[in-house]
Amino acid sequence: MSPAPTPSHTVGPFFGYALPFTGGADVAPPHHPDTLTLRGRVLDGDGQPVPDAIVETWQPAPDGSRTGAPGSMRRDAVTGRVVGRHGADFTGFGRVATDADGHWLVRTLPPGGVPYVCVAVFARGLLHHLYTRAYLVDDPDDALLAALPPRRRATLLARPEPGTPRVHRFDVRLQGAGETVFLEFP
Amino acid sequence: MTALPPDLTQSAIDTEIAKAQAAAHAGDHPPRDFPPYRGSALRHPTHPLIPVRDPEAVELTGPAFGVTDVTDLDRDLTRHHAGEPLGERITVTGRVLDRRGRPVRGQLVEIWQANASGRYAHQRDQHPAPLDPNFTGFGRCLTDDEGRYSFTTIRPGAYPWRNHTNAWRPAHIHFSLFGEAFTQRLVTQMYFPGDPLLPLDPILQSVTDPAARDRLVAAYDHGLSVPEWSLGYRWDIVLDGPAATWAENEEDDR
Ligand SMILES: [Fe+3]
């Protein structure tokens, strides 16, 4: 018999000294020429910024590998401080808290084999986190995109910002006009 | 700070909780929209979630963590400063399983909590209870080969919040867990048995199934208590969500 799942709860407002870590936004090795920036805001049902959300990203390495690698939160064994990723292995994992304006940002490398970066959003007020995807390419063959009406589909597209093709904009609207498409994995 | 409406009493919230629980569909997880928890009002989606059944979905895999991500001291929250924190020293341990009952091995468990007085080491926590210079309240560890985690910490205090007049959160420890897939990600809170605030808390009560609520309450385990040192609590955790390593013909027996 399968054990019953432990219920989810909100991350609350006070995760800030615990979950974010130095270098959490820097998934790409420093100065990597293929680095792309994924940035956006988390907004509530009134269109107001959500300043106490945390955004996590997960994706394949550029070569398509999906195993990730340890070391996202690499620690100095002497001081215990976070020393950050060493950059040789691609960990695939990003974590960043929103700022007072609801803004978040990760610098990463293009995911191999798929057009999207997986996104999970946690926030005060959100009793169960939300999954979505930031599509870097509007892929006509993608089954999820193809199944959505155009206006909803548009919420999953991380569009290059004008003049800065390596900066992709992906706002997450938790509710209301332009509400982001959120996913479940039954 | 804005004033709360004068009629937003605990008994008004209790009535709202009873109503919301009666209207809810049974489920392991809370509905994202739970009106007695005021913070949820503008932060829950109104469209249904879109199910993804693609066996190639990247979310069926997840990030990896290892010994470089965690130091041995991280699991003992009482040893992060020069002195001993105030409060009742406790050990919290248990197993992390997936929904097939298999141990979740080598995965990251993170916890954070208020100090013994009910105050977080966070600038925005303005509860006029003392900060403890010897307690930050953040720990982490990796699960072992049986899926076990273990923390030494102090029992956190209850703290007030402004959901309604005289609202107090029961003592709790926040937990964040990874499984082998991003779909198994879990952020939740562990409570203590016998806490009189449990029935009054809109966040715990947002889990509308009483049996599911009980799964958020740890058990006091005298066998885990260490003589002259600490009291022991046991809390097992089951991660929901599928992973890529599950063969398709096993998917239905849940
Ligand atoms: Fe809390």
Distance B242 CA to ligand 1 centre (A): 28
Q: What is the pLDDT of residues B9-62, one digit of tens each?
A: 999 999 999 999 999 888 899 999 999 999 999 999 999 999 999 999 999 999
The predicted pLDDT at position A165 comes to 87
Mention every residue, 6+ apart, whose C-beta is less than 8 A from residue A178.
A151, A155
Residue B254: what pLDDT? 44
What is the per-residue pLDDT for B253? 45
Tell me the mean pLDDT in the region B117-137. 92
Contact flag B52-A185 (C-beta cutoff 8 Å) = yes
* Nearest residue to A56 via CA among A24, A12, A9, A23: A24
Please say if B80 is a catalytic residue: no
- Whether residue B115 is predicted with pLDDT greater than 90 in this model: the reply is yes
Q: How far apart are CA B131 and CA B76, in angstroms?
A: 19
The arithmetic mean of pLDDT across residues A72-88, rounded, is 90
Can you tell me the ipTM of this complex?
A: 0.97
**How far, in Å, CA of A149 to CA of A117, rounded?**
21
**Known catalytic residue at B159:** yes
Calpha distance A58→A68 (Å, rounded): 9
The CA distance from B229 to the nearest CA of chain A, in Å, is 25
CB of B135 less than 8 A from some CB of A: no
Pick among B54, B68, B235 to test the A interface (most A CBs inside 10 A): B68
- Interface touch A10/B187, C-beta < 8 Å: yes
Over the stretch B129-179, which tens digit does the pLDDT of each residue have? 999 999 999 999 999 999 999 999 999 999 999 999 999 999 999 999 999
Catalytic, B169? Answer yes
Q: For the residues B234-253, what does the mean pLDDT come to?
A: 78
How far is it, in rounded angstroms, from Cα A173 to Cα A168? 16
Closest among B184, B172, B171, B183 to B143, alpha carbons compared: B184
> How would residue B123 be classed by pLDDT, with cut points 50, 70 and 90?
confident
Q: Would you say B199 and B182 are in contact if contact means Cβ atoms under 8 Å apart?
A: no
Does A130 sit within 8 Å of B188, measured CB to CB? Answer: no
Task: Evaluate if residue A33 carries a pLDDT over 50.
Answer: yes
Q: Which residues in chain A have their CB less than 8 angstroms from residue B60's CB?
A: 185
State yes or no: pLDDT of B105 exceeds 70: yes
User: Which of B28, B37, B182 has the CB atom closest to A5's CB atom?
Assistant: B28
| B222 has a chain A CB within 8 A of its CB | no
Cα(A141) to ligand 1 centroid in Å equals: 44
With CB atoms and an 8 Å threshold, state whether A7 touches B62: no
Give the mean model confidence (pLDDT) for residues B188-203: 98
Cβ <8 Å between B32 and A126: yes
Active-site residue among B102, B174, B215, B234?
B174
Task: Give the mean model confidence (pLDDT) for residues A114-143.
Answer: 97
Predicted confidence (pLDDT) per residue in B47-99, tens digit: 999 999 999 999 999 999 999 999 999 999 999 999 999 999 999 999 999 99
Quote the pLDDT of residue A82.
87
